[in-house]
Amino acid sequence: MTDPLRVLFLCTGNSARSIIGAALLRKAGGERFDVHSAGTAPKGINPYTVRVLSSVGIEIAGERSKHVSEYDGQAFDYVITVCDAAAEQCPVFPGAPRRIHWSFPDPAAVEGTDGERLAAFRRTLREMQARISTFILVARNKDERA
């Protein structure tokens, strides 16, 4: 078995999108990926993030919101930015990782009833699941050819 591909999901707050992306890739990609998440200005994990992940059988107890500086000097195969601000502020990592940008609206910015806010997080989760399914296929195929 080859070494797992190291992937970092990056957004601004590391409260929703990057946490969701990392959790989904960990579950779907299994041992083939070493997955991390961080933010340029971490805020703590949004409670709706915990709720939507739990609804698909993913528990993130023990996970915490991290600043991207915790990964200074570490090499990644892929850095996936999931918001425009993080894409603009993304630091340089050693080893020239492949940078991918997926622009997702911030579900934490949605105001309204509990149901409306939860719906925004569910939409983000579904959209990320689709992207991650494709990413797993493409990333592994590229890695096997290298």
- For the record, the structure tokens of 30 come out as 């299994």
Is position 83 annotated as part of the catalytic site?
yes
Task: Please return the burial class of 42, using the count of CB atoms within 10 Å of its CB with bins 0-12, 13-18 and 19+.
Answer: buried
Is there a contact between 107 and 117 (Cβ–Cβ < 8 Å)? yes
Is position 104 annotated as part of the catalytic site?
no
How far apart CA 120 and CA 143 sit, in angstroms, is 34
Q: Catalytic: which of 41, 90, 110, 118? A: 90
How far apart CA 70 and CA 39 sit, in angstroms, is 10
Is position 11 annotated as part of the catalytic site?
yes
Q: Catalytic: which of 25, 82, 83, 86? A: 83
Q: Catalytic: which of 5, 7, 8, 11? A: 11
What's the Rg (C-alpha) of the chain? Answer: 15
Q: What residues act catalytically?
A: 11, 83, 90
